[in-house]
Structures are given as C-alpha cells and as structure tokens.
Structure 1
Amino acid sequence: MSQQSHRLLMVSNRLPVVVSCVEGRWDISAGSGGLVTALSPVMKQNDGLWIGWPGCGEEAPLNELLSRFRAEEGYRLHPVPLTEEEVERYYWGFSNETLWPLFHDLLGNCNFSLENWQTYRQVNERFARTIAEVCKAGDLLWVHDYQLTLVGAYLRKHGVRQALGYFHHIPFPSLDLFRRLPWNLELIRGLMEYDLLGFQTLRDRRNFIRCAHSLLPDTEVIRRHRHHTTLRHGQRKVRVGHFPISIDFDEFNDAAASKEVDEAAWFLHENIEGRQLLLGVDRLDYTKGIPERLLAFERALAKYPDLMRKISLVQVVVPSRTMVPDYRDLKGQIDQLVGRINAQYSEHGWIPVHYVYRSLDRVQLLAHYRAAEIALVTPLCDGMNLVAKEYCASSVHNNGVLILSEFAGAADTMGENALLVNPYDIEGTADAIRQAFTMPQHERKRRMSVLRADIRRNDVHRWVRRFIETLQRSR
C-alpha cells in the first residue's frame, strides 16, 4: 500500500500481541493471524496506533513490553485495561453468549442478560474515551467486530468527527432474528454512527440495510453501487459495503511448498497409505457443524461400502471455552460420535476417524492441508471461514477437493468450484463425500487451480487496501 497522508488508528477487542510470563520473565510477541500480518505494513507506513485490551492483568510490566514491541515492530500499541469481571460480562457474556449465537442463527444458545449488556456498554464507552484521548485531526479510525459495535456512537458523543470505519467479521442476521435482541435499537443506532460499515457478504450487507431501514424510520437508501450502498440517516450519510476478507496467499503457498512441510505431509500419508484423507479443522464451537459432519461421514460409509478401507477422516478440534457447559456438552457429543463410528466400522489396519483434540503448530497444520485430498469445511453458519482458503492456498499440487457449506461466507466466491452442501442435510453431505472421492484428477486440478487463482488475486492485502480507500472517500 502506498504512503498515506492520514494516521491509521486500529481498534479491536484484543491487541495483536501475546503477553506471557515464563519463570518470572515477561515477554511480548506479535500475533500470528492473517489480519495482523496484513495490517502490520500499513500500520508502519502510516504511523499507526493499535488500541485494544492487552489480555493481561496489572501484574505485567506493560509500558516496558509495549515500548519493546514498538521498537521491534515499528508501530505503537495503546492498552485498554479491563477487570476480570468486565472480561467475563462484556466478552464472555454479552459478546459470546448473546451476539455470537444470535448472529449465527442459533437463538437457542442465547443468554439475554441485562447485567452483561450494561457492562458491554460500559466497556465500549471506555474504548471510545481512550480513542478520543489519543486521536488527532485527520486520523482514520478502523474499529473491528461485534465486541465494539457501540464505540462509534460513544466517539461521536465525545466530539470525535474523524472518519470512522467498522468491519463486522461474523454474519449479520436477518431482521426477524435481529429483532429478538432486546437492545436492537441501541445497537443499530450505534452502528449507524460510523461513516463506513463493512460486511463479509452481500447477504450480510442486505440484512443490515433491511434492519436499519425497518427499525430506524429516518433511514433511507439514496445510492446503490456494486460494492456498497449509501444510506441517509438523519443528517448523515453512511456507506454500507461488503468486503470479503481473505488470507495471505503467498505466505501459505510458499510455506506449504517448503521442504519441512513436504516431509511432514509425506509422513502423514505414509502412515495412512493407499487412502484418501478427508480433513476437518475447527475450533470447538457449536457453529462449526462438527457433529453433523461426523454423521455425514458415518452415513457415507454405510451408503457406499466401496469407501471402506479407502478413506479416512482426520478431524482436528482446537480446544475452546472448555469450562462452558454448552462447549463441554459439544465435546462429549463429538467424543461419543467418533467412538461409535470407529467401533462400528474399524477393521484391522484401518480406523475410519482419526480424532485430534489439540491445536496444531504451523508446520503440522500446513502438512495436514497438503496431505488431505478432500477438505470438509461445513459450518452451520460462518462469516467467511478462512480454513477453506488456507486449504486451497496450501494445495500446491492442485489435487484437493473442497466440500463447503453453503452457509459459510466463503461460498459466495468459492461455491462454483467447491462442492456446496447444506450441513444439516446428512444424506446430501454423504453424497458429496462420495463425489469428491471419485472425482477424476483432471476435474480436481481444474477446480482447485481456479480456486487458488481467485485467492491469489483477492488476498488479504487487497482487502485492506479496498477498505481503507473506501473509508478515505467516505468523509
């Protein structure tokens, strides 16, 4: 990205760092996510400042650690301190027990707590107050995700008139679903205080516009473009666009082609010789559709006996929120399904499901992507799902098949060359597994080469440029 004349202020729930203490020695390191990787050069070029919760308590020597980070990474971090109770109510409570399930169309998992909502408002106001203290005229402010929907409204109350952008990384619900939120009016009004609202898909953009138009009588559409719609809200104009997030294609492609990953991928397949590997990689979460995926694999084995001994599912589940009852129950359900399938179908020398309950290091993750002939990316609902793109970028020989949920945001751009499934349709997903297994090599290569070319062209760096350029034009 070229040098810009504006300073960029990035705001997210967490700072892009890991603060740790080993044997009494404190350390700080940059986060490893694709968003951090893509934004770091932009932050350096624009004298950037990243604002967020540091993820640690008062015992950490934070000023010293943040000074070290600036010297090493070339941009500054500004912390927003939170108490344990605030983290519990604002983050684990309202953000992840109310907004997360509601926005993923899982109303039955919602907890509508007034106390959590009040803490969410208080924390959003503290973020805004912190931003107002450090921002300058001409700054561009980019706020990220559902934990901070109200920051824009509080910034306006603090007199901030700089360009405000907001990107929503998860799905945005339909009007009927959004109205279930007892505080829907305050939340939608808060979002309308931004100058630019970014969503993952056209569907999310349309859902938001319908909610705003229906719930706020003084809101009307005044202009439509391919990638954004301009709304008038009172005396203000708000751009609402869709900006599908992506990954750093070159980083995944180059690392997957390395000798270290190649050897690790060979070792994985050598241990399961003569079979095609199906791969699922998911955080433990009820939105990811892991039980439905296991049921579909079980059905495929029952319906298509020719798959026996010729296919194995490697399901990686990264532990998450293991003390929360819903997540413990989900873990138990997955354990039970894996045990049942392996008990019923295992034969000497063949286990149908290889279940890995832990996170994988970078080399092992890429090796699993390289080794798998088929990826099962079948969430019940997802804003985008970058695993689908990571798998394709790592398929350096163009020999993989992507089975993708139609309810993942990635389906909008990848659906034509993936095998789209409804994850609730166990029979249909089982048929897709058989179709992928029997797909001719020339068709695999054709589909995967198109998928990889599109990810290479529309990578995360282009996503960052598009959003910032649109934000600059919005004011």
Structure 2
Amino acid sequence: MASQDSESNEVSQVGGRRLIMVSNRLPVSLERLDDDQWRTHPAAGGLVSALDPVMRQRGGVWVGWPGVADETTETLRDVLDRQYNATSDYRLEPVALTGDDIADFYEGFSNEVIWPLFHNRFTVCRFEPDYWQAYQRVNREFAHRISEVAHTGDFVWVHDYHLVNVADELRALGVDNRASFFQHIPFPTADIFCNLPWWREIVHALLSYDFIGLQTVADRTNFLDVLTMMFDRVETEAGDRGIDISIGDEGLVRHQQQLRIGTLPISIDYDHIAEVAASEESVACVERFREGWGDRTVVVGVDRLDYTKGLPEKFEAFRELLTRYPELRSHITLQQHVVPSRQQVPQYIEQKEEIERLVGEINGEFTQPGWVPIHYIFHRMDQPELMAHYQVADIALVTPLKDGMNLVAKEFCAAKRDGNGVLILSEFAGSAAELGEHALLVNPHDVVSTAERIHDACRMPVEERRQRMQAMREIISAHNAFDWVEEFLRAAGANQ
C-alpha cells in the first residue's frame, strides 16, 4: 500500500493531493565516471521539455529511469539525493533497470513494437514474446516504486506508451490512488492496432486508469473504435471534462468499468521559449548566423532521427523545388538539424545512412560555387542556439509522416519575436489541428505539393506572413504547458 513518509520537496498540492509524475525517463540522466564519481545530464525529449517547467513550478515527485543500467535502486537514489534532490524544486525517485530490461523493454517492445505500430508502420514491428514479457516486468517494477513513494490520496499521472500497464500493476498491489494516463504519440486505427498480438491485454490495462488523455480528436475516435470492437456494450456520454465511458462486460476485472477520456493537446512553455530567444546568448547567435546566410532564404528543419519524421521525403521535396524552380538555386538553403536518437536500433542506422546518401546526392546535383543547397548537421543543440536558428529562418519545414503533436512547430512560432516567418506543417502532425488554419499544410508523401508550398512560402507577402505567424503565436501563448497541465488535472478529476 502507499507509503505515509514525506519529504520537504515532495509536497505538491493538487487540491490537497500530491502529484506523482511517472515517465520512462527522469528529466536528468546519470553517468558513472571512471573514478566512481557521478555526473548528471539534462535529459532530452519533448515530454521532458513540456513537463520539467511545470514540475519546477508545482513541485512533487517524478518517478522514472535515470538512464544508467545495472545499478541498484539504493545507489541511484543516493546519487540523485546528493546531486539533484537537495536543491531541486521537486524530488526524483529512480527505477533501476538492467541491461536486459533496456534491450527487451525499451529497445524491444517500446521501440520495435509499440512505436512503429502506433505510427502506422506495423509491417516493421518485431512481435517477440520475450519483449512482451519484459514490458510487463518493467511496468510491474515501476508500479512497485510508485507504491513505495506515493501517499494515500496522491494523484498518479503516468506518461506515454512505455508504461501502459502501470495502473493495472498498481491495482494488483492494492494501490487504489486515482491514476491517469496521457499518451503523447498517436493512437492508431483499430485495424492497425489489432495487429498487436497482445492488444486485448493492452486495452484491459488502459481500463485500469480513471482518466486517459489523448492528443487529438482522431486519436480519441480510434480508441473508442477499439473499445467498441472489443466489448459488447460501450456507452459514451459527453461531459464538460471529456467523454464518460461505461463498459459492461463480465470479462472485466473492474465490472461496469467507468472511464473518462479527453482530448488534451500538449503545449510548450511559451514564455520560457520567448525569454531564451531574447537572451544575449541567442541574440549573439542570431547576428552571427544572419551574417553567414546573407540575403538567402533560409528553410529550417529540426527533427529527431526517426523514420516517422519524413526526412527522406523532405529532402526529395526540396530536390523537386530546385528542379521546378531553377531561379531559386543559390538563393535558398535548407538547414536541416537532425538530433541523434536510438542509434543502436538497426532501422535508425539505416535511416541515417539513407538521409545522408540523399543529402550527398542532392548537393552533388545542385551545388554551385559559394552555395550548397542542403546544410545537414547531425548534432544536439542547447536552447539559445536552437532559438537562434528559428529566428534566422524564413520558413520552418515540419513534415513528419505521423506525429502525436510535434512541439518543434510550436517552438518555432514562439521564438519568432519579429513575427515574420512561415510554418509549413504536415497534416499528419497533431499540431495541425491547432495551427493548420494559419500554417501551410502538406501531405509529406506528396513531394510535388510540398515543393509547391515551399515556393508559395518564398513568394508570400510580408504582411500575410506576419498575420499568419501572429495568429499562431497567440494560439500557442494562450494555451501553454502550464494551462495544459491544469486542464489535464481538472479533466482527470485530480481534486476529487
């Protein structure tokens, strides 16, 4: 059952309840050095970017893996207490994972099964039974850690596809805290979802949550379709805070299951992005970058290395642009930043090789003295540098094949302090539901149409660019990360 111990920096009141945040990764990673010393690194990723500022404001407890294998919980907790918890606004509680856990749970089931399946790439899934066993085992371990640190009445908020089973495991341990789940990636259509050999077990695990948040209306519709296919009776009723679902089925552990689901698109810390963009460090980078680019039109892309991001299609569209509109040659440059990710996974190695071959091929075809069409950089950036690239760019090309939200689109708009820029956005990104009226939407599979939209962006009058950008900035600033958290907690009934 839930612990009754407390520590000073754990206290986060959610209507009298503490907030227990749960995700696969903690917001910091640990590294053991050769001299048996430890170093902490800020963790990367959209989830951390969205939630870390919220936790800094609210305080609370964050449960997750600190990024190092084969260490004991006691060792990890001791390091975090000394190097983070002593001075942090919220407390980190580690989950210890072995090398086998990482290989089968994270690299295996999470990233070779769930990730491709939920991004409509089920043909590349590896449905290994050992992966599923590891997924269940690690979710059970997360539940054990939560049961040790949570107080009676605390509100548990679990994040993303790595940890679907956590609430079910908590119930098995006798922990009855209110538990909610937010899925950051898309939820697939029923015909794709049911390719998963364990799809029924996943649905039952989701039904152990009191509330499920999804990014878009399409995701919600897909989830309801799965429930309708699985159960004889599924009744829905629209409410102020989502859709209430009643399921009657003798096969359910929790008979007459009551569940609420809501559509809650995630956002960014708009004020923080704007502040970083205006910082001396970022402004200095802006001046240096602008001097380097001269009067060329700069198209920026910032994507994690992943086959869902549509990088080959993006490069092919840029090739099509240069072929169709030769007058743009030497006057436009695509600056593509690719952030390293999952480099040990074969499909990601192949993806990197393919995009680097394409970049070389296109540059070899079109390069002229003093001009290279694509500047490809495989690296990580700090925020001031990233915000500078956004500010210098005339156009952002955000064209994933499938994306739960895509916070790059929102960060680009927040960083455009001069209000002058064009966002070209995939219609398959979750952010298109919010920004699509003012962005230029494209189907990333259609490289000809995407090339045309880039050309349209180049020719767009400054007044129209500013109007579109201002509208998107207002949408994002009016619904920032803190608003998203408050809306989620209200919808989830955290105060009940």
Q: What TM bracket, shorter-length normalisation?
A: over 0.9
Alpha-carbon shift at residue 28 of structure 1 (Å) = 3.2
CA deviations 1:426-471 (Å, max 9, x no partner) are 1100000000000000000000001011111100010011111222
Query: Which one of the candidate residues 27, 32, 35 is aligned to 2:39?
Result: 27
In structure 1, the partner of 2:174 is 159
Matched ranges for 1:249-288 at <5 A: 249-288=270-309
Pick closer, same or farther for the CA change 1:30–1:337 going to 2, 3 Å.
closer
Query: Which one of the candidate residues 212, 215, 224 is aligned to 2:238?
Result: 224
* Residue 403 (structure 2) pairs with residue 388 (structure 1): no
In structure 2, the partner of 1:132 is 147
In structure 1, the partner of 2:253 is none
Matched ranges for 1:26-425 at <5 A: 26-28=38-40, 31=43, 33-41=48-56, 43-44=58-59, 48-58=60-70, 61-68=75-82, 69-221=84-236, 223-225=237-239, 228-234=242-248, 235-425=256-446
3-state SS in 2 of match to 1:383: coil
CA deviations 1:95-133 (Å, max 9, x no partner) are 000000000011222111111011101111221222223
In structure 2, the partner of 1:15 is 26
Write the distance in 1 (CA, Å) between the matches of 2:62 and 2:363.
48
In structure 2, the partner of 1:4 is 15
Write the distance in 2 (CA, Å) between the matches of 1:377 and 1:385.
8
Q: Which amino acid aligns with 2:67?
A: G
Alpha-carbon shift at residue 306 of structure 1 (Å) = 2.0
Q: Which amino acid aligns with 1:65?
A: V
* Residue 469 (structure 2) pairs with residue 448 (structure 1): yes
Q: Is the 8 A contact 2:71 2:96 kept in 1?
A: no
- What TM-score, normalized by structure 1, do the two folds share? 0.95
Write the distance in 1 (CA, Å) between the matches of 2:216 and 2:469.
22
3-state SS in 1 of match to 2:396: strand
Write the distance in 1 (CA, Å) between the matches of 2:53 and 2:367.
44
Write the distance in 1 (CA, Å) between the matches of 2:284 and 2:42.
28
Identify the range of structure 1 (252-261 vs 430-439) with the bigger mean alpha-carbon deviation. 252-261
Q: Is the 8 A contact 2:167 2:209 kept in 1?
A: yes
Identify unmatched segments of 5+ residues in structure 1.
none
Pick closer, same or farther for the CA change 1:450–1:30 going to 2, 3 Å.
same
CA RMSD of superposed structures (Å): 1.8
3-state SS in 2 of match to 1:322: coil
Q: Which amino acid aligns with 1:378?
A: T
Write the distance in 1 (CA, Å) between the matches of 2:495 and 2:167.
15
Q: Is the 8 A contact 1:43 1:49 kept in 2?
A: no
Alpha-carbon shift at residue 39 of structure 1 (Å) = 2.7
Alpha-carbon shift at residue 344 of structure 1 (Å) = 1.1
Alpha-carbon shift at residue 349 of structure 1 (Å) = 1.0
Write the distance in 2 (CA, Å) between the matches of 1:470 and 1:327.
37
In structure 2, the partner of 1:461 is 482
Write the distance in 2 (CA, Å) between the matches of 1:141 and 1:443.
45
CA deviations 1:357-413 (Å, max 9, x no partner) are 111222221111111000000000000000000111011101110000000000000
Write the distance in 2 (CA, Å) between the matches of 1:430 and 1:284.
22
Alpha-carbon shift at residue 226 of structure 1 (Å) = 6.4
Identify the range of structure 1 (69-78 vs 177-186) with the bigger mean alpha-carbon deviation. 69-78
Write the distance in 2 (CA, Å) between the matches of 1:426 and 1:322.
27
Identify the range of structure 1 (175-184 vs 304-313) with the bigger mean alpha-carbon deviation. 304-313
Q: Is the 8 A contact 1:27 1:65 kept in 2?
A: no
Percent of paired sites with the same residue: 44
3-state SS in 2 of match to 1:132: helix
Write the distance in 1 (CA, Å) between the matches of 2:488 and 2:280.
36
Write the distance in 1 (CA, Å) between the matches of 2:71 and 2:214.
37
Alpha-carbon shift at residue 40 of structure 1 (Å) = 1.6
